[in-house]
Amino acid sequence: FHTLFMLQVENVKLLDRYTNRKAANGTLYLTATHLIYVDASAEVRKETWILHHHIATVEKLPLTTAGYPLLIHCKNFHVAHFVIGQERDCHEVYTSLLKLSQPVKPEELYAFSYNPKMSKENREIGWKLIDLKVDYQRMGIPNNYWEITDVNKDYEVCNTYPPEIVVPRAANKAVVVGSSRFRSRGRIPVLSYLYKGNNAAICRCSQPLSGFSARCLEDEQMLQAIREANPGSPFMYVVDTRPKLNAMANRAAGKGYENEDNYDNIRFKFIGIENIHVMRNSLQKLLEVCEMKSPSMSDFLTGLENSGWLRHIKAVMDAGVFLAKAVKDEKASVLVHCSDGWDRTAQVCSLASLLLDPFYRTFKGFMVLIEKEWIAMGHKFSHRCGHLDGDPKEVSPVFTQFVECVWQLMQQFPCTFEFNERFLLEIHDHVYSCQFGNFLGTCHKEREDLKICEKTHSLWPFLLQKKQELRNPLYRGFTAYKELQPNTLPFSFQFWCGMYNRFDKGMHPKQCVLDHLLSCMSQKMKLEDNASELENKLPFLDGPLPSEACSLSKVGRAASKTPMLNTPQDYEGEPPPVLSNGTSAGDIDVTSDVDQKYKENLSHHRDLHDLNDAIDVLEAKDGKPQHH
């Protein structure tokens, strides 16, 4: 371990922003991949690990009486405030972190050196876990109206699209190629999602190169083919997700938006989601609010409002809801674009798919959705996440906003997602960590050139291994809910403390209901296993269980003394150590193994009844009838 250290500094303080506790004192280590801080003042060895790729900024603050402060802001919203005794040490750590956190070449990213001791075969299987063709087949494609084509196999149509795309069968190669010349960066209209219930489709593209009067016959034929692929509707929507003023400014530069006079039977609509620069500034203001030392309620709420962050989240959600309603209720196909079709378009199309299709609310489905709408379709993760030393104006929290929209939906529909908040946070962390190859580069071609599948590992198998701790205990199953219709009135949106303040110890409630429920359900599964084991042993017993009457009376007393933890005072002090079978050391009775398990089952029966009641209450809150 010690041979990996590039730098080691003793007597470094780590300040805690929200508690008045004495600052931790310990040793700071720099390795090739991580900053590691070991707290020497803690009774139990305590380590803080910060991945270099997670570091957004490193700042030297003015000298204090305690020493030389170094403030580190991370892309996953961790803030670490160190104080280093010697100026020379502080400067060395500062310059090292600047270099380590801003690699210049893609090959310097963590994913290319990360080695989890996995065989080549298993790594390849990991990359094949998500197959987008299977998802299109699930939608019923290919069919009479849509086909999967390899027209882009050499990236001749569009170098930021994948080799295989889904287009209307009626659009021949001449139409596809002609349309690509009239669309910004060649990003032609392609299928994003087909709603099998009525053949309405969500398609995506970039803005047309229309200027004030230009038109293109092939592009008009492409939109006509999309509309006619849904024979049940006489029209289709074309949605521009930009504010109208922004789109008009693009017109002056020879780009712009579709003229309804030139396209048959389209209904054009603006939905004003701001650009990447506005979003970057909004997040910066939000984080300033989150980092206020001891804000008043007025300061916090005013700062939150002035950041505009939740207003932007609402705008993205409103756009997703509009698309879903157009497809489901109006049975109309929708074509969506922004400027280049890889930021706002990705947000809105993936959100609408999530609202329409319960498959995307499962572990596997959510991975497919991200692969399909974000990775394959060329969201520029490398630029937006600042993976490499580049233009800071290209960085923007586009994917963060999508993840937050999903979390906001989880607050309104707590029983409809197979995964929990931690799953979203894990994905968000790894979009920035560069530990896995999925989010490197800007498009399919770039990842191909980097040989991502040969040289790095996929995130998805890693997450599926942790499925048990990432699952939502309230999930009602795939068929319980079909389409979601969220409320997007302002009062429906919450500040996501779990994302933006999750590393601040003093900011958290002491209990998380879902975590507790998850542990209860895990305990329930153990008890059910115990019960099955007991039932298998019953035929081999001769006569009654040993000291049966005595055991029952003892169990009754034990159950009354140990209720389920559900009040803050129940968490005070150290609980007795929990044994592997789920009982605590304080409850042990010297009886036979079978008798002991029999008593455990009985003593937990009341807890399970309480648990089931709790689930029923939460389901009723979510709009589902109670059941017993």
Which pLDDT band holds residue 75 (cuts at 50, 70, 90)?
Answer: very high
* Both tokens assigned to 161: 């699209």
Whether the predicted pLDDT of 555 surpasses 50: no
Taking residue 600's Cβ as centre, other Cβ atoms within 10 Å add up to 23
205, 290, 338, 434: the catalytic one is 338
Q: By 3-state DSSP, what share of the chain in percent is helix, strand and coil, each rounded to 5? A: 45, 15, 40
How confident is the model at residue 512, as a pLDDT?
Answer: 74
pLDDT-wise least confident of 145-159, 414-428, 441-455, 494-508: 494-508
* Both tokens assigned to 198: 């009525």
Whether the predicted pLDDT of 26 surpasses 80: yes
Is 481 strand, coil or helix? Answer: coil
At 171, the amino acid letter reads A
**What is the C-alpha to C-alpha distance for residues 431 and 438, in angstroms, rounded to an integer?**
8
Contacts of residue 307, defined as CB under 8 A and 6 or more positions apart, other chains included, come to 282, 283, 285, 286, 288, 289
**What is the C-alpha to C-alpha distance for residues 372 and 369, in angstroms, rounded to an integer?**
5
Name the one residue in this structure whose structure tokens are 């804000």.
Answer: 295
Computed on alpha carbons and rounded to an integer, the radius of gyration of the chain in Å comes to 28
- Is residue 541 within 8 A of residue 594, CB to CB? The reply is yes
Cis upstream peptide for 295 (omega within 30°): no
Which pLDDT band holds residue 163 (cuts at 50, 70, 90)?
Answer: very high
Q: Find, among 434, 364, 325, the residue nearest to 103 by Cα.
A: 434
* Both tokens assigned to 290: 């989150």
Whether the predicted pLDDT of 149 surpasses 80: yes
**What is the C-alpha to C-alpha distance for residues 154 and 520, in angstroms, rounded to an integer?**
53
Name the one residue in this structure whose structure tokens are 């299709």.
Answer: 357
DSSP secondary structure code for residue 495 in this structure: -
How confident is the model at residue 308, as a pLDDT?
Answer: 97
Which pLDDT band holds residue 533 (cuts at 50, 70, 90)?
Answer: confident
Active-site residue 338, yes or no? yes
The phi and psi torsions of 25 (rounded to 5 degrees) equal: -125, 130
How confident is the model at residue 509, as a pLDDT?
Answer: 52
**What is the C-alpha to C-alpha distance for residues 20 and 14, in angstroms, rounded to an integer?**
13
DSSP string of 179-193, one letter each residue: HHHTBGGG---EEEE
Counting every residue, how long is the chain? 628
- Alpha carbon 478 to its chain centroid, in Å, reads 19
Is 371 strand, coil or helix? Answer: helix
Which pLDDT band holds residue 454 (cuts at 50, 70, 90)?
Answer: very high
Taking residue 17's Cβ as centre, other Cβ atoms within 10 Å add up to 17
- Is residue 106 within 8 A of residue 388, CB to CB? The reply is yes
